[in-house]
Structure 1
């Protein structure tokens, strides 16, 4: 899939679940639970030494049993990590910061780069380095009204907040009313309890409920 295809899949889904767990089996089971709910794009985060080994196993599972699933990697800050996960089969790369050398590595590989931004200067720098979508992080710091305040400055950019997005209809609707194209869903959806107690059926149920809320948003 090309960059626009991946953007389309994320924006059609309207959310991007993201998580990390040191345990390979837990990481895979969470992925299966999300897929069972109808999720077709996931961000696994590079937040531990186990991330690359886990990601490689998750990639195998996706290739073998999850047609249509896009598996991206987040928290990529260096060119070395970008190259490592690209070689492991990442479909897209998400960074918590705007670092042009990472943008170049990702885009030279033909992949979608989604940087994390907060200020207008960071968004502009991301745009000048080829970003078509940015992650507003942490969204909890600025809130939904921030999107509508800056959106007109960047008509060519899509906004996806991460952090500060709850699983309630009220929270989700407020973000979309202010102009986001999708929302990142981390611990509010894939909670510590789900991971520690292996509540995979509960995760599938909750994810379906969130997707229903998203599908009803105009």
Structure 2
């Protein structure tokens, strides 16, 4: 899938599971719950050394049913390893020029964590597809999106941290492009994850249809 097609698909899905686990079996359960609930997108964190192996196995198991990327990618070396393992997009808590260059080379969407407008503009200038509002989304909440998009309406924003059923409407109402979600899409049984994903799907669809 071409980069622009994948970016559009990521926007349409509108939410992704932020996954941190060393266990392929648990990653598979989370993936199945997300797929069954209509949120077939997940970020596998490179907090653990075997993240690349899990990404490979997920791609083998689910193929086109699942969009899986790499998270916590801090440098260009890790970015290339993740891409070679089959990561379809790269997400990080920081902005790194080396990662941006690798992602541009392989035409992979990159969402770096940025805490200032200056940093975000530099990242966009070097090919970032989304700006991850991290950790500032946790501190400022949904109003952050309108603050950033007022002067920069073309900035596509991934919010990550603290998104729940209590505030997801606020994020989408304010114009966030993708919601990165932890506990709701990663804790509990497959059935519980599926149930939460279905609720998230309904909320996202309501705002996407209004666009």
Is this a same-fold pair by TM over 0.5? yes
Over aligned residue pairs, what C-alpha RMSD do you find? 1.5
- Comparing 137-146 and 98-107, the one that deviates more: 137-146
Residue pair 1:131, 1:157 contacting (<8 A) in 2 also? no
1:202 to 186, 192, 206: 192
Task: Provide the C-alpha distance between the structure 2 equivalents of 1:179 and 1:38, rounded to a whole number of angstroms.
Answer: 21
Corresponding pairs, count: 207
2:124 is equivalent to residue 127 of structure 1: yes
Residue pair 1:167, 1:189 contacting (<8 A) in 2 also? no
1:183 to 175, 179, 182: 179
Show structure 1 runs of 4+ deviating over 6 A: none
2:145 is equivalent to residue 147 of structure 1: yes
Deviation for aligned residue 1:188? 3.8
2:37 is equivalent to residue 37 of structure 1: yes
- Kindly report which structure 2 residues correspond to 1:44-55, keeping only aligned pairs within 5 A, or say none: 44-55=44-55
Unaligned runs of 5+ in 1: none
CA deviations on 1:90-140 (whole Å, 9 max, x unpaired) are 111111111011100111011111111121122111111112311111211
2:111 is equivalent to residue 114 of structure 1: yes
Task: Provide the C-alpha distance between the structure 2 equivalents of 1:177 and 1:57, rounded to a whole number of angstroms.
Answer: 36
Residue pair 2:31, 2:40 contacting (<8 A) in 1 also? no
2:100 is equivalent to residue 103 of structure 1: yes
Unaligned runs of 5+ in 2: none
Task: Provide the C-alpha distance between the structure 2 equivalents of 1:77 and 1:161, rounded to a whole number of angstroms.
Answer: 18
Q: Return the TM-score normalized by structure 2.
A: 0.92
Task: Provide the C-alpha distance between the structure 2 equivalents of 1:156 and 1:3, rounded to a whole number of angstroms.
Answer: 17
Residue pair 1:134, 1:158 contacting (<8 A) in 2 also? yes
Residue of structure 2 in register with 1:159 after alignment: 157
Task: Provide the C-alpha distance between the structure 1 equivalents of 2:156 and 2:131, rounded to a whole number of angstroms.
Answer: 6
Q: Return the TM-score normalized by structure 1.
A: 0.89
Residue pair 1:55, 1:88 contacting (<8 A) in 2 also? yes
Task: Provide the C-alpha distance between the structure 2 equivalents of 1:58 and 1:124, rounded to a whole number of angstroms.
Answer: 33
